[in-house]
Structure 1
């Protein structure tokens, strides 16, 4: 089965120390592990620190800036939570806006995203291993509700479920979000801007972790997207539009995903 991908779990959160364990590493000339993929605990640490109250988007930018250490950063398995660590919603102290920003990053950045069961409805969990691995509602006959169904989920759970479902569909439909390179810029005032680019398309992603509406002047990125580009809002209305005076508006504590034509 030559197409099978093997992912190695090396629980090290410093990219400089984790990267040598990936196959064909530039940092390890004594041993080639031949592991094509690693679980990216370095990026997990960045997402976790961002998700905390007062956590900054700089965590994400500074970690991705170390991607040159890996032999193949696009083949790293990325995640926000799993069976050994606190759930994302618990870390975010049930701040849904922060939760959504972290999930948006997960599904629009490089790597192979993994979603832990229950994250798709915003399960909170706790710190103990029992709480980390709490049963999904509806998974067993004794459960009083079935969160596998629309009617069995709360209004908030359905909001989160459809948010993540739509993001997954965007990633599926746009090759640059899966395989494209990244051009990103240091966050300013808690606004993180990056492009995913491949031979077919350019997608602009904006994460606004600030408590205010922002205006983004696309002229600042003319070397990447040209002048007066046509923009498709993939996140909201999915229609083509010309931006007034080359300025994008984005609400506070929200994300924007735009196809540039």
Structure 2
């Protein structure tokens, strides 16, 4: 059972428009103000992204050929979903923490990918699944059949008559609907703990031997392979919910150990919860996903009401800064565990563009889920939110993966990258323009946020400040044109560095067409 506290261990241990021209984009990259980890990160499901050898499965060499695409988009880092050997398509149940899944390529392929990414100033973050392994992992296979196995202590066991095994029947977090956490082993009177399901037995972080193995794994990927950071899956569940302090302390302990291998180590954690539960993790995981704002952005855009967004974000930002002044707010619209933002917004292209505009102008260090920039669609089950990326029309697309038949994102429902690049009004060019504006602005990258209240509740208005740069951002979340009268103290914001199609400023008034935005500078 998990009993030992980690506290003592830690104390002793260690001017762009929405249809921007290519020449303007080059200028934007040369004038870049952002610097990762404050820049844009792009999440990739390797299996669906790009196929290099025609077997239908996305792979590392395929990703390598697309690095120039990501560089041109304005991306400064990639987060790769699990790369390790695994019996499942998603690979969140690892059977070898030191290997690369053979469908994806070899370790040499991965090292070359990292090398090529670094040449383009793109960092590489890999998914590290430490909460649990696969029940097909050699550690677990040996531990399950032999109570005296050297790996027995790597997992959590209890006798079938233990009263705690009767405390089932409820979910304990928004990241799992599983209610049965103790699982049987054939021919044994002992049960093992698996928070997500029986195929993913939880690792026992009360075991010193297991902890050292985890440190060894981390050091391997940093020193031997050269990754820049980890996205840490299920960071809230290292210890059970009734031991939150041990969860918080563990990540401080882990980060201290990883800094010995890479002093600039980047760790971003998945803590699927509101800000009050997320905040204590910031001491060990200075970058955490802001799920709360992703929910609020979608709700605001669907409801056409933006007046409270900046207020909410300012509250969360100030709260997190009180815990860790250097925290990195990893903002998102959706990811591989959520319905795609386009589907959440009922496939409304105008609303999807507005969601992107909000994400890229509010505070935070945005993560883009692959395909968001082309408006990919998808609703659960999970396979249908992880469908193949569309690089070109079906007959021309040499990189498209075919490991699954897509249900939501097809040639009939979503335009390919190649088609969208030619369309100045495409969502791809919308993303590209706003990313360039953000990457060229210190205020948008690093700045504070000051909410501005407007008479019309459809308007989301806020000021972003950093050093000498001050920007006024206005978004119209409604389906009708609105004229906004600037308060007297904001009339000095008169130069547009970004404006949506049809937007215009006339003295102290700004005309905002439906679902459009303006960024004004003093």
TM-score range with shorter-chain normalisation?
Answer: 0.7 to 0.9
Partner of residue 310 from structure 2, selected from 37, 61, 79: 61
Residue 176 to residue 102, structure 1, CA distance change in 2 (3 Å): same
CA positional deviation for 1:40? 0.9
Q: Deviations over 1:76-124 (max 9, x none)?
A: 1000011000000000001111111111111111111000001010001
CA positional deviation for 1:35? 1.5
| 3-state SS of 1:234 partner | strand
The answer to whether structure 1 residue 189 and structure 2 residue 457 are counterparts is yes
The answer to whether structure 1 residue 21 and structure 2 residue 259 are counterparts is no
Which residue in 1 is equivalent to 2:270?
9
Residue 149 to residue 85, structure 1, CA distance change in 2 (3 Å): closer
Give the structure, 1 or 2, with the largest relative contact order (CA under 8 Å, sep 6 or more).
Answer: 2
**Alpha carbons 2:307, 2:457 under 8 Å: kept:** no
Q: Distance in 2 between matches of 1:61 and 1:198?
A: 17
**Alpha carbons 1:73, 1:110 under 8 Å: kept:** no
Which residue in 2 is equivalent to 1:246?
508
Q: Distance in 2 between matches of 1:55 and 1:20?
A: 33
The answer to whether structure 1 residue 37 and structure 2 residue 287 are counterparts is yes
| TM-score, with structure 2 as normaliser | 0.42
CA positional deviation for 1:256? 1.3
* Gap regions ≥5 residues in structure 1: 24-33
Partner of residue 208 from structure 1, selected from 464, 473, 476: 476
| 3-state SS of 1:81 partner | coil
Structure showing greater radius of gyration is 2
The RMSD of aligned alpha carbons is 2.9
Q: Distance in 2 between matches of 1:231 and 1:83?
A: 38
Residue 210 to residue 177, structure 1, CA distance change in 2 (3 Å): same
**Alpha carbons 2:340, 2:376 under 8 Å: kept:** yes
Structure 1 segment 105-184 matched on structure 2, within 5 A: 105-138=358-391, 139-140=399-400, 149-151=417-419, 153=420, 159-184=426-451
Q: Deviations over 1:41-96 (max 9, x none)?
A: 111221232243x3532462353142222134861100001100000000000111
Q: Distance in 1 between matches of 2:305 and 2:372?
A: 21
Q: Distance in 2 between matches of 1:99 and 1:119?
A: 9
Q: Distance in 1 between matches of 2:310 and 2:494?
A: 27
Structure with the bigger percentage of strand: 1
Q: Deviations over 1:231-256 (max 9, x none)?
A: 2342359xxx9x53422211122111
The answer to whether structure 1 residue 96 and structure 2 residue 346 are counterparts is no
Q: Deviations over 1:124-169 (max 9, x none)?
A: 1122111110111244365997977524x59779701000000000
**Alpha carbons 2:308, 2:460 under 8 Å: kept:** no
| 3-state SS of 1:150 partner | helix
Residue 49 to residue 259, structure 1, CA distance change in 2 (3 Å): same
Q: Distance in 2 between matches of 1:73 and 1:97?
A: 34
| 3-state SS of 1:256 partner | strand
Q: Provide runs of 4+ in structure 1 moved above 6 Å.
A: 143-148, 154-158
| TM-score, with structure 1 as normaliser | 0.80
| 3-state SS of 1:202 partner | strand
**Alpha carbons 2:320, 2:327 under 8 Å: kept:** no
Q: Distance in 2 between matches of 1:147 and 1:250?
A: 27
